[in-house]
Structure 1
């Protein structure tokens, strides 16, 4: 945003309209864009939001925690990803 804040969000579990005749769950790119603008975002990057969407955050106790655990408990193997780290 204009203050230099950076946000990381994920949205997953959406199912395309072709599967049911209408979209179910998740968020469209347009919906996320409008939401980010309402929060004051000035720039955004959209990456794949499919079943491989994953967010892992290091908590203050220095352990890593996954924040997007699917309801099914089934994890997809990830071939690649992005990491954003800060200097301590």
Structure 2
């Protein structure tokens, strides 16, 4: 298994759009549409209203690649291009224990 932490920094005035888009995508990611996604939780950094972290756990790298190719991820790609102040930072983690 692999996990990722995606850090998303919204432009000033765009935090609500980012939050809404992440919240809208979450049910689809957690559904049977992505059976190899074991955990998906968008969060906001306390005290930093424009910074979001998304915690995700996938069966393998293929499942992560499949996630980014889904129909419900397409609106997020568009959002990242227009509403983030910097490109997403994706930390890929090996799961153990």
Who wins on radius of gyration, i.e. which is larger?
Answer: 1
Instruction: Give TM-score, length-normalised by structure 1.
Output: 0.32
Structure number with the higher helix fraction is 2
The answer to which structure, 1 or 2, has the higher relative contact order (CA under 8 A, 6+ apart) is 2
Instruction: Give TM-score, length-normalised by structure 2.
Output: 0.30
